[in-house]
Amino acid sequence: MVALTTIFLTGFGTASSSSVAVPASKNGSLQYFGYALVDCGIDDPADAVDRRNYVTEVASFSNVAQMCVFDPSENIVDRLQLMSKNDLKALLSVQAIFFVGNPDATQGSGMNFDLHPQYQARWQRFVGNNNLSQNISAIAAFYVADEPVWNGITFTELKTAADAIKASFASVPTAIIEAPHGIRRLQVPLSIDWIGFDRYAVATPDTDPEYNSELALLKSKRSRPGQKLLLVMDAQWLPFYGEAGYLPRRMKAVASRYYNVAKSDPDIVGIIGYLWPGGFDDADQMGARNLPMKVIDEHVRIGKLITGK
């Protein structure tokens, strides 16, 4: 979803097969709306001043936002409290706690991530540093790994990390997002609750045959009933979009079509827009916050329909 792999992301038996209840909402299973990189230390170069947290910008129409962790010694209590104060919950990226990456040309992403040999101690250190048992209500889900197949994370490694999280917090969803080209090889552990994939530059995701084929393939990878989907919405604009004839204003229609997909599919639990701040993948990349006001207004409309704000 967020390509943060460029800067960061034994089983416990029957407990791993337990499902996480989805609270009822007026949208059925669709209950979350938010963005990637809201609190991940990313400074949008379009800003005149350095800024690395955008919680207050999205709070009025979102209820979930990605928060990134890079080291088990980090204290995120104040960041969680800021989200809670603004009626948001964290999609907490903990990949860097469990995995260590190295360049590897044999992997699709050019990186290979291995389970850290001290993952258990690192996880317990992070949990203790942040008194997570007392702050768990501020977390919507743990984002275990970004594009695990594409980044060389094996099924066993992914399962081990997800099982460890579930052993600590059984009721909190765990999530992964896979790259489109990794879906076919994806194996989903029982201890993962939400899955998604991140295909971009699709103008009509509600009708595009390739996109819908990948969505169907992703659904077929679920390992138990009750596993839900996160829909990654293209909420950016890149220079090659313009070269293909897509001006930034056309991203309004794209957002509408992603919402059409989400609201018509009872398996989808939330929409995560990639991304909020611009300049992360390309110096001229527009994030959602940089798009024309009519596009932002459509995002706000969709977010409020889902969250009820």
Is residue 8 one of the residues assigned to a domain?
no
- Helices 155-168 and 119-129 pack at an angle, to 10 degrees, of 30
Is residue 171 one of the residues assigned to a domain?
yes
What is the per-residue pLDDT for 1?
A: 65
What is the per-residue pLDDT for 28?
A: 73
Q: Which contacts of 57-62 are long-range, i.e. CB under 8 A and separated by 24 or more positions? A: 57/276, 57/289, 58/34, 58/88, 58/276, 58/303, 59/86, 59/87, 59/88, 60/300, 60/309, 61/33, 61/299, 61/300, 61/303, 61/304, 61/307, 61/309, 62/33, 62/34, 62/35, 62/88, 62/303, 62/307
Averaged pLDDT of the chain: 92
Is residue 215 one of the residues assigned to a domain?
yes
Give the predicted TM-score (pTM) of the model. 0.91
Full residue range of the structural domain in which residue 243 is found: 28-307
Judge contact between 295 and 306, C-beta under 8 A. Answer: no
pLDDT digit string, tens, across residues 88-140: 999 999 999 999 999 988 888 898 999 999 999 999 999 999 999 999 999 99
Is residue 15 one of the residues assigned to a domain?
no
Is residue 20 one of the residues assigned to a domain?
no
pLDDT digit string, tens, across residues 7-34: 322 222 222 333 444 444 456 799 999 9
Indicate which CATH number applies to the domain containing 255. 3.20.20.80
User: Can you tell me the mean pLDDT for 78-83?
Assistant: 98
How many domains is the chain partitioned into structurally? 1
Is residue 11 one of the residues assigned to a domain?
no
What is the per-residue pLDDT for 26?
A: 55
pLDDT digit string, tens, across residues 182-225: 999 999 999 999 999 999 999 999 999 999 999 999 999 999 99
What is the per-residue pLDDT for 164?
A: 98
Judge contact between 286 and 278, C-beta under 8 A. Answer: yes
Judge contact between 289 and 235, C-beta under 8 A. Answer: no
What is the per-residue pLDDT for 108?
A: 85
CA distance 158 to 115: 8
Is residue 23 one of the residues assigned to a domain?
no
Is residue 160 one of the residues assigned to a domain?
yes
- Per the model's pLDDT, the better-predicted residue between 20 and 143 turns out to be 143
What is the per-residue pLDDT for 106?
A: 87
